[in-house]
Chains A and B, each alone.
Chain A
Amino acid sequence: MTSTIDAAPVVTDAPQERPDPPSARWWRLAAALGVLIAFIWGVSGLDIGADALRRAPGNIWRIIELSWPPDFPAVLERGALGKVFESVYIAWIGTVIAAVFSLPLAFLASNNVVPAWIRIPIRQLFIIIRAFPELILATIFLAVVGLGPWAGALAIGFSSIGTLGKWSSESIEEVDDGPVEAIQASGGTWLSGIRWGLLPQVFPTIVAHWLFRFEINVRASAIFGLIGAGGIGGEISSQVQFRNWQNVSAVLIMVVVMVLVIDGISGAVRRRILAGSDRGSAEASTEALGDLGGFLTRRRPTAPGSDA
């Protein structure tokens, strides 16, 4: 990205020849052609008739018309607000489970903590967990623990271990080795090296990872209801089945508000935690503190409604 900045200030008095335009490189053409061929192949396989294509915009527009105005009283009566909160609880508990399991595993997957023969199998475990799509994991947990929010929480917890473990161990590997060496030189054990040498350095970053994963998990737990794992998704799928579009739009708006509010709160806390760890930027820290104040005042009015 810096190449243009470096190349920009060429100042000479002599009148310059206009540079030749860069020649179109053959591989650009080839890449464009490749994408085009792949696209045509893709469309051919979707068996979209001209008819379906012509009707689709009309259909979508009709659904939008039918969805207006969103019927909030009807969905609130069905307890949609409680379901929204249930999605948040599922996501939170899933994140807590994943945080508890991934923290020790992340240390055991870092090259500055353990030798390769421990590290590599745990890395493989993270990769395998990440390979399973969350929704499919949720279907498996549903079959094991039964319908309900607990299956969703377990599925989120299990599938988040993969990403949290990976992100955390990457952060652990980036730290300064000095404090650990100092602890070992003064006779500290391996464990106190981790506790007092590594953990204080990486903990703010790791908590920020947890919160970021929480934001992702809120979206995931909203989806899990579609297959019966608790939360607001079940409301969407049943309303879609009833073709009750005004209710669908009302629930969808509630989901969007939930996601935006959680993103806002969690993002503010993350910024505060990371700015707090960086003592140089007092300005960023005060700004983030203001956010945190907003976070506390914003959360209070929502708490009583959570029993609904």
Chain B
Amino acid sequence: MRLAGMAMADTDVADPTVSATVRPRKPRLRARTVLIAAGVIAFTVYSAQQSGWEWGSFITVWTNPLWQRFWPIDWEFVLDRNNVLDPLIETFQIAIVATVIGCLLAMPIGFMMSQLTAPNRPTFIIVRSIMNVVRAIPDLLLAVILVAAVSIGAFGGAIALTVFSTAVLVKLFSETIDGADPRPLEAALAAGGRHTAAVRAGVLPEVFPAYVAYSAYVFELNVRASVVIGLVGGGGIGRVIEAQRQFFRYDRILGILIVIFVIVMIIEQISDAIRRRVL
């Protein structure tokens, strides 16, 4: 935090009129800088007290006997089809369904949320406010509520992830539309096109590659999210992790995490390749 104060002081050093041979004045420490630094430190100390700060934890965390339970990995369990592979496939199915539906919904909503292509001002304001609020809901809280509302298992999790992926994609996509070239749209409107047709012909071709790239990114996010969604009753591999956690079988959890890690890496590579291909 001391560094934060220094950097803020650094920002008003240079005066370009001073000749280069004169050593520049050392920046003064200003009252505002001190005040901000003191406020940040006070808030940090207070937060530390409130969250139960314990210096010892930084060492005891690593010497805890629990870590012995992570090794050796129970590969027999992890590589058994029923235990890990099948729930993992369910996780993927949740991620795919959520991504496809979420991305389909995000296309029209995204167009409504950009000032360039919104059909009218009220739609723009209403849709944007709703999506801002939806995006502010942490994804797993939504999952807990929807799992209770719909059903325990994959269905509730899939709905929660669908909402989440729509909210994320809509934000990224509408920002891309904001940056699109308005002239093709103007031309299409000037030539007498209806709003939908003009957007379809004037804007969509320009932003579609970005849409595909963001969809691939949302799929990546969904795979990661669908892993943990089972911890709150949303189905998939998370349910297995939750069950093993209750028995302190961290050797199995570590094995599952390694399998997930490898698969997530592969998906990231594929999604990167798609992004490079379309952009």
A150 contacts B53, CB within 8 Å?
yes
B133 touches A256 (CB 8 A): yes
Q: B257 contacts which of A131, A150, A237 (Cβ < 8 Å)? A: A131
Shortest CB–CB separation between residue B68 and chain A, in angstroms? 12
Residue on A nearest B248 in the bound complex, by CB: A143
Q: Within the complex, what minimum Cβ distance (angstroms) separates B159 from chain A?
A: 7
Q: Does A115 contact B (CB under 8 A)?
A: no
Q: Are A145 and B51 in contact (CB under 8 A)?
A: no
Once the chains bind, are A132 and B144 in contact (CB under 8 Å)? no
**Distance between A159 CB and nearest chain B CB, rounded to angstroms:** 12
Closest beta carbon of chain A to B103's beta carbon, Å: 9
Answer whether A248 and B136 are a contact pair too, CB < 8 Å, given A89-B50, A150-B53: no
Chain B min CB distance to A258 (Å): 9
Is the beta-carbon distance between A42 and B144 smaller than 8 angstroms?
no
Give B240-262 interface residues, CB cut-off 8 Å to A: 241, 245, 248, 250, 253, 257, 260-261
Q: Distance (Å) between the CB of A58 and the closest chain B CB?
A: 10
Contact (Cβ within 8 A) A240 B148: yes
Given contacts A1-B206, A259-B138, contact A135 B231 (CB under 8 A): yes
Q: Is the interface of B mostly helix, strand, loop or mixed?
A: helix
Whether A45 contacts B228 by the Cβ 8 Å rule is no
Complex: how many Å from CA A41 to CA B94? 10
User: Roughly how many angstroms separate A263 CA and B138 CA in the complex, as a whole number?
Assistant: 13
For the complex, what is the distance from the CA of A243 to the CA of B145, rounded to whole Å?
A: 10
Residues on B with C-beta less than 8 A from A93 are 44, 47-48, 51, 53
CA distance A175 to B136 in the complex (A): 34
The smallest C-beta distance from B215 to any residue of chain A, in angstroms, reads: 9
Cross-chain contact A154 with B100 (CB below 8 angstroms): no
B61 sits at the interface (CB 8 A): yes
B218 interface residue (CB < 8 Å to A): no
Task: Please encode chain B, from 121 to 143, with 1 for each CB lying within 8 Å of some chain A CB and 0 for all others.
Answer: 00000000000110011111100
**In the complex, what distance in Å separates the CA atom of A237 from the CA atom of B182?**
47
> Which of B74-82, B110-118, B149-157, B167-175 forms contacts with chain A?
B149-157
Given A222-B138, A240-B148; A46-B184 close (CB under 8 Å): no
A-side contacts of B155, CB under 8 Å: 46, 48, 52, 56
Instruction: State the main secondary structure of chain A at its contact with B.
Output: helix
Cα A35 to Cα B227 in complex, Å, equals 21
Flag whether B197 is at the interface (Cβ < 8 A).
no
Interface assignment of A165: CB less than 8 Å from any CB of chain B: no
**C-alpha spacing A42/B199, complex, angstroms:** 31
A133 contacts B53, CB within 8 Å?
no
- Report if A233 contacts B (CB, 8 A): yes
Interface pair A60/B206, CB less than 8 Å apart: no
Q: How far is the CA of A8 from the CA of B235 in the complex (A)?
A: 50
Q: Which of B136, B141, B250 contacts A223 (CB 8 A)?
A: B141
Q: Which of B18-26, B85-93, B188-196 is near enough to bind chain A?
A: B85-93
Given A1-B206, A145-B57, A150-B57: A260 and B136 interface contact (C-beta under 8 Å) = yes
On chain A, which size bracket covers the interface?
35 or more
Question: Which chain A residue shows the least CB distance to B261?
Answer: A131
Docked Cα-Cα span, A233 to B57, in Å, equals 23
- Given the known A-B contacts A4-B181, A149-B51, are A141 and B61 also in contact in the complex, defined by CB atoms under 8 Å? yes
- Contacts A63-B149, A150-B57, A222-B141 given; indicate if A39 touches B51 (C-beta within 8 A): no
Contact of A148 with B52 at beta-carbon distance under 8 Å, contacts A141-B61, A255-B137, A277-B11 already known: yes
Contact A89 B51, beta carbon cutoff 8 Å = yes
The contact of B51 among A90, A204, A227, A240, by CB within 8 Å, is: A90
Q: CB within 8 Å of A: which of B211-270?
A: 224, 227-228, 231-232, 235, 241, 245, 248, 250, 253, 257, 260-261, 264-265
Provide the A65-102 mask, 1 if CB < 8 A to any CB of B, else 0: 00000000000000000000110111011001000000
B257 touches A255 (CB 8 A): no
State which of A56, A204, A255 has its C-beta within 8 Å of the C-beta of B159: A56
Asked if residues A139 and B144 are in contact (CB atoms below 8 Å), the reply is: no
The distance from the CB of B235 to the nearest CB of chain A, in whole angstroms, is: 8
Contact B96 A131 (CB under 8 A): no
Q: List A contacts of B181 (CB < 8 A).
A: 4-5, 8
7 contacts between A and B (CB under 8 A): A8-B184, A90-B51, A93-B48, A149-B50, A153-B53, A207-B7, A222-B138
Top 9 closest pairs, chain A to chain B, by CB: A45-B93, A89-B47, A42-B96, A150-B52, A42-B93, A259-B136, A149-B51, A42-B97, A203-B7
Given A89-B51, A252-B141, 10 new contacts (CB under 8 A): A46-B235, A60-B146, A63-B148, A89-B46, A135-B231, A140-B66, A143-B66, A223-B141, A226-B140, A255-B141
Chain A residues at the B interface, C-beta cutoff of 8 Å: 1, 4-5, 8, 35, 38-39, 41-48, 52, 56, 59-60, 63, 85-86, 88-90, 92-93, 96, 131-136, 139-141, 143-145, 148-150, 152-154, 199-200, 203-204, 207, 219-220, 222-223, 226-227, 230, 233, 236-237, 240, 243, 248, 252, 255-256, 259-260, 263, 276-277, 279, 306
Which residues of B come within 8 Å of A, CB atoms? 3-4, 7-8, 10-11, 14, 43-44, 46-48, 50-54, 57, 60-61, 64, 66, 89-90, 92-97, 100, 132-133, 136-141, 144-146, 148-151, 153-155, 158-159, 179-181, 183-184, 205-206, 210, 224, 227-228, 231-232, 235, 241, 245, 248, 250, 253, 257, 260-261, 264-265
